[in-house]
Amino acid sequence: MDDNRLLVERARTDPHAFGLLFDRHHDDIYKYILHRTANAELARDLTSETFYKALNKLWTFRWQNVPFLAWLYRIASNEVNGFYRKHKNYKNVPLEDIMENSGSEYRHLKEELEGAKEEINNNLLFMELQQAVSCLGNKYQEVVTLRFFEHKKVKEVAEILNKSEGTVKSLLHRALKQLKEIMEAPPKEGESL
Amino acid sequence: MKNHDDKIDEMLENLSPPDAALPAAKAMLRRELLNSSHFKPKPPVRVFRKYALISVPVLGVFLLMVVLKFTQGEMSAMARLEYLESTYYKSFISDTVHYLKARFSETVKTEGHVVVEQWRYGADKVRILLKYQESQKIVGHLILKGKQAFLWLDEDSEAKILVTGKQGEDCTEKDDNTEEVTNNAYSTMVVPVENIPAGKPGIKQVVVIISKDSIDLFGFATSDPAKIFSRLKASPDLAYAGTDTLTDSRGKRRLEMFERKTSQDLRAFLVEYNEELEKDLEVLVEKLLKQRIEFHSQSGDNLNRDGTDAEIYADKGGFEIEKIDVVETTKVDKDTGMISSIIQQAYRRGKPMAKHELTFLKEQFLVYEPGIFDENRFQLKELRPGQLQGTGAAK
């Protein structure tokens, strides 16, 4: 019995119910976006977009053997893909340019972000792999991130991406092949990790 | 860049990506979402000002069209159902025990109707009580708490017919292009045919109704009106069947009716057999459920002798099986959106054969008390994993 069903129905009008859905699924979505982008600040913003879109589109959600979390993952994926489509030359904007309010809450948010950035940058293996993964096409990034960074099973990945398990396996195989080529290629002049 | 060997798979498998959690940002986002305008009812004055900008005649005509469509039956079945569903959810009170009481149409000799009560709290606490309506004698009692199940069943009760629902195993469906594993549970109801044609002494007839989300005891234990709405909305052949009225203790009520007919998820079989074979009926029903086969009704010969396991069993066992039509009608209160009844009516060549009905009598939201789901209080026995399936045979 999928206990999210009743909660999703209630969440359309009951903020308490939506809050419960948020509590259940926020961390999964945030981590997925973080692992796609390797940028805590961007992940925070796109997670926010994901949940606002989910709230506005909740009335359109239909139970058809697809879990609610899979639907959220799809929205999140679309947000990430859409962001990079629009911001091909995206660079990090310094925190100081964004944080206008110097109140204690924002100071706390700033410290939190700094801590998250440090944690990401200290995970060298993740940074190396993520940078290689980010060179792949979107559909390959999705399967690799879900399968290896989110540790989802092939069946779960297929459910989230609305593809067959065979297709997911095929995409993973091709993605890994491309990753190997990327990581074994000699570095371009001036490029470093 | 370092050179990597071919163990990229291993690197990915063993990777521990960073969490980099942002709890304060998360809390802020949560606050913003829950306080967003999506959940705030707009003050009447602001609504008036907003819509005053819209041409009143245009708005009036639009509203009139919506009302006319709803009353004249032009609104689609799905649109009507969704409207009723949203009306239903307006009555919900969060963090309470959802109580339902319903009655089965089948009567038991000297005992009358059987009623079922359900208490549901959150996602993992359900209690089901089955008893005779007149005497209040308990026939079955089930509590589900997470993965635990506790049960008491009166094995000698003739109301066992209502616990004959067998949950089908997970089904794997394949077509040419995709392979999908679906986790659909099918159940059966076995309903006696009351008016057997004269000239057949010692012959019994039952209708076996196989459906997804059955309305037998165990089906009811894992279902509730929210799930019923979801199931109806997912039915590709859902049709609007007009209105009905019902007068009961709650007064005169207007009901909207929705139908779905014989399909992959809903089918019926007429089974005829000598009463001496009663004990073998259950095996046949299990085989029918397992295979969800198609029978081809041909005059003089109802069985394909090169057919499936159930067909072979029926042939050898002396059962005559015929696929017949079934119509399931769900009636919904137009004002409250509450489900009033679900009726499964089987027909053979247009003639009604047997009917199974679940009538919803009461629905409330109660304050939570742990004692409602206390198995020790009711002296129920814990079931082993996998033991939670219908038992018994049709009477």
Confidence label for B106 from pLDDT (cuts 50, 70 and 90): low
Are residues B33 and A52, on separate chains, in Cβ contact within 8 Å?
Answer: yes
One-letter amino acid of B333? D
Q: Nearest CA of chain A to the CA of B130: how many Å?
A: 21
Rounded (to 5) percent helix, strand, coil in chain A: 75, 0, 25
- pLDDT reported for residue A169: 94
Q: For residues B336 and A22, give the distance between their C-alpha atoms in angstroms, rounded to a whole number.
A: 29
Q: How many CB pairs under 8 A join A and B?
A: 151
Chain B hits for A22, Cβ within 8 Å: 29-30, 33
Nearest Cα residue to A58 out of A2, A1, A3, A7? A7
Confidence label for B145 from pLDDT (cuts 50, 70 and 90): confident
Confidence label for B291 from pLDDT (cuts 50, 70 and 90): low
Confidence label for A107 from pLDDT (cuts 50, 70 and 90): confident
**Token couple for B95:** 């963090």
Q: B282 or B199: whose pLDDT is higher? A: B282
Q: B171 or B15: whose pLDDT is higher? A: B15
Query: What was the ipTM of the complex prediction?
Result: 0.85
SS3 of B196, please? coil
SS3 of B149, please? strand
Predicted confidence (pLDDT) at residue B194 exceeds the cutoff of 50: yes
Predicted confidence (pLDDT) at residue A175 exceeds the cutoff of 90: yes
CA angle B288, B303, B309 (to 5 degrees): 40
Are residues B15 and A149, on separate chains, in Cβ contact within 8 Å?
Answer: yes
Contact B114, B100 (CB under 8 A): no
- pLDDT reported for residue B180: 34
Q: For residues A51 and A49, give the distance between their C-alpha atoms in angstroms, rounded to a whole number.
A: 6
SS3 of B32, please? helix
Report pTM: 0.51
- pLDDT reported for residue B50: 46
Q: For residues B236 and B263, give the distance between their C-alpha atoms in angstroms, rounded to a whole number.
A: 10
**Token couple for B127:** 């209690």
Nearest Cα residue to A25 out of B122, B29, B184? B29
Predicted confidence (pLDDT) at residue B169 exceeds the cutoff of 60: no
Least confident range of A177-181, B24-28, B170-174, B224-228: B170-174
Contact B116, B101 (CB under 8 A): yes
Q: Phi and psi of A130, rounded to 5°?
A: -65, -40
Residue B68 DSSP label = H
Confidence label for B109 from pLDDT (cuts 50, 70 and 90): low
**Token couple for B315:** 């042939």
Query: Mean pLDDT: which of A33-42, B59-68, B83-92 is highest?
Result: A33-42
Are residues A55 and B38, on separate chains, in Cβ contact within 8 Å?
Answer: yes
Are residues A179 and B8, on separate chains, in Cβ contact within 8 Å?
Answer: yes
Q: What percent of chain A has pLDDT over 70?
A: 81
- pLDDT reported for residue B219: 63
Confidence label for A166 from pLDDT (cuts 50, 70 and 90): very high
Q: What is the mean pLDDT of residues A84-93?
A: 62
Residue among A122, A149, A155 minimizing CB distance to B17: A149
**Token couple for B372:** 């409602």
Give contacts of B 167-226 with A, CB under 8 A: 178-183, 222, 224, 226
Q: For residues B270 and B319, give the distance between their C-alpha atoms in angstroms, rounded to a whole number.
A: 10
The number of residues making up chain A comes to 193
Tens of pLDDT, residue by residue over A32-48, are: 999 999 999 899 999 99
- pLDDT reported for residue B147: 82
Q: A133 or B195: whose pLDDT is higher? A: A133
First-residue to last-residue Cα distance in chain A = 47
Contact B38, A53 (CB under 8 A): no
Confidence label for B175 from pLDDT (cuts 50, 70 and 90): very low
Contact A157, A168 (CB under 8 A): yes
Contact B267, B293 (CB under 8 A): no
Residue among A6, A55, A187 minimizing CB distance to B33: A55
Top residue of A13, A16, A136 to mutate, by most chain B CBs within 10 Å, is A13
Q: B224 or B306: whose pLDDT is higher? A: B224
For residue A190, CA distances in Å to A99, A187, A193 come to: 33, 8, 10
Confidence label for B76 from pLDDT (cuts 50, 70 and 90): confident
| Mean residue pLDDT across chain B | 73
